[in-house]
Amino acid sequence: MKSLLIAILLLSCKVLAQSGSVLDELSKDSFKRNLNFLGSDLFEGRGTGTAGGNLAAKYLALEYEQIGLSTITQKNNYYQYIPMHGGIPLESSVLNIFYGAQIEKLKLKEDYLLYVAGEQTFVPKPLEIVFAGYGIVAPEFDYNDYQSIAVEGKIVAYLDGEPKSDNPEYFAGNKSTVYSSYEAKQRTALARGARGSILIPNLAHSKFYSWEETVLLFSFENVTLAYTPSNSLSILLNPERAEVLFKDSDFNYKEILEMHSLTQMKSFPLKCSLSFKGEFKERDFVASNIAGIIEGTDSELKDSHIIVSAHYDHLGIGPAIRGDSIYNGVYDNAMGVAALLEIAKLFSKEKFKPKRSIIFLLLTGEEKGLLGARYYTDNPIVPLYKTIANINIDGIASFDKFKSVVGVGSNFSTLEDFLIESNKDLNLVMDSIPREFASEEAFTQSDQFAFALAGIPSILILEGTKYENITSEEGINKMIEYYFDYYHSPFDDLNRTINYDASMQHIDLLFNFIQLLSNSTEIPEWKKGSPFINQRLRSIAEKR
């Protein structure tokens, strides 16, 4: 009887150790040390394929070794090597719009920017341009901008965003869906045989948009995966010059914006054509993801894997602003990387060893288009069908301790159920993205989107806007201030004020969530109607 009682007590202790707060186990000093290293000028902003980015990769591999993570790559080290191509368009590039014999010359940076930079974008002979509404095909909403037009061999122009809706069952109501992302629009155009695309930003669509800020961001090197060179031209057009496309057409640009307001968008051929001869500064190089694993302890569950990811790259060295040219990326995303390292340390302890295997994946090239994540899903170290979830870390709480949590992408999968359960353990409640940021398509903007496109249920967990010591309004104002004054600028650096208690709380939340998922016999599933279900079914059927 005594031995049975002891066994029950031991079992109870084990269960308690698998849920609830682990704040006492976390090291604020360790988190600060890694953050201060990664956010310092030593790493020169951790640009993809730069000396600073490569130095950061070596630093992180050494951290993995000290933690005791097992290697998992074919080279028996922590590096997943990624061949990449970089290019910078030169202002001597020539983009012409033709109206019969009349020619309108557009200037790089002033009139347009290039999503893709390289000689493969050459368009020597004028190609017809077709306007395709928002450039969206969404069968589940019975919506098709391409239904009445032919675009094969032509250039497709489309408007930023998606149809306006107050119905949450139709394009998610006042929220944005994956169809509004640039990547989704471009893939749709190319799938229909288009030779190129032109995205027209809708100034009314994004509160934080300005052409000057966009030009600054596009001044950095354009980087692509070396094995995915595109022969398609991909242009971002200054909306102040958008009327140049609609000259003598059935509708002008002002009428297009009215169509958007009235939800009466039309697609139609334009009365112009386009040619492009680009000149570029180009290079080929190799960058690295950093991957390590903690093998699960359960004989059956250990063959299923959870990927915990964070991108370690940032913008590197760029145009100087007020004398500072190093874009350190402390919030974005040195803090997320430092948090991942702390979580890995906890799971490496014997008392926290997970039943399922956990891959800790530090990704490069996120700022260049989720390149590290896309490479991983194209070349998975562990088969995709054996990967049950991705928890991406991009941003860690820094304003104040919080009472609510946002699960970005949780509406797509049953990861939402796990998050609700985890919140109960920590006395937190679910929250939603503030309306001021709802149009920012948060789920598509970081690496979790690449994993979702590969069929893996994915989530980004952020603090909500209910705080302990500041009001929701004050918290939202701090977010707005960050996006206006610090985001993707040299001033996202170690001079920023950080509430480390809030950061530790966020890490505690992430650990609790991952632990709950790693020890559960339940597997996350995409919810009915999710756009990622078919890819999941495909990877399982192909055992990919």
How does strand 357-363 pair with strand 305-311? parallel
Using alpha carbons only, what angle is made at residue 376 by residues 375 and 380, rounded to the nearest 5 degrees? 130
Domain boundaries of the chain, sorted by first residue: 21-86+283-541, 91-278
pTM, 2 dp: 0.85
Class of the domain covering 91-278: alpha beta
pLDDT at position 169, please? 85
Predicted confidence (pLDDT) per residue in 9-51, tens digit = 333 333 333 468 999 999 999 999 999 999 999 999 999 999 9
Q: Which of 338, 339, 290, 311 is nearest to 445 (CA)?
A: 311
pLDDT at position 14, please? 37
3-class SS of residue 406: strand
pLDDT at position 178, please? 79
pLDDT mean across residues, the chain:
92
Predicted confidence (pLDDT) per residue in 294-332, tens digit = 999 999 999 999 999 999 999 999 999 999 999 999 999
Question: Does 4 score more than 60 pLDDT?
Answer: no
Predicted confidence (pLDDT) per residue in 80-112, tens digit = 999 999 999 999 999 999 999 999 999 999 999
21-86+283-541 and 91-278: identical CATH topology? no
CB 329 within 8 A of CB 314: yes
Q: How confident is the model at residue 202 (pLDDT cuts 50, 70, 90)?
A: confident
Alpha helix stretches (DSSP H) within 308-381: 335-348, 371-378
Q: How confident is the model at residue 217 (pLDDT cuts 50, 70, 90)?
A: confident
Query: Could you tell me which residues come within 8 angstroms of residue 215 by beta carbon, excluding any fewer than 6 positions away?
Result: 109, 113
| C-alpha span between 7 and 457 (Å, rounded) | 37
Query: Could you tell me which residues come within 8 angstroms of residue 471 by beta carbon, excluding any fewer than 6 positions away?
Result: none
Second-level CATH architecture of 21-86+283-541: 3-Layer(aba) Sandwich (3.40)
Least confident segment among 4-13, 138-147, 479-488: 4-13
Question: Does 238 score more than 60 pLDDT?
Answer: yes
pLDDT at position 208, please? 47
Residue 527 DSSP label: P
pLDDT at position 456, please? 98
Beta bridge partners of 221: none
pLDDT at position 269, please? 97
pLDDT at position 329, please? 98
Residue with tokens 């530090």: 362
| C-alpha span between 157 and 379 (Å, rounded) | 32
Predicted confidence (pLDDT) per residue in 440-477, tens digit = 467 888 999 999 999 999 999 999 999 999 999 999 99
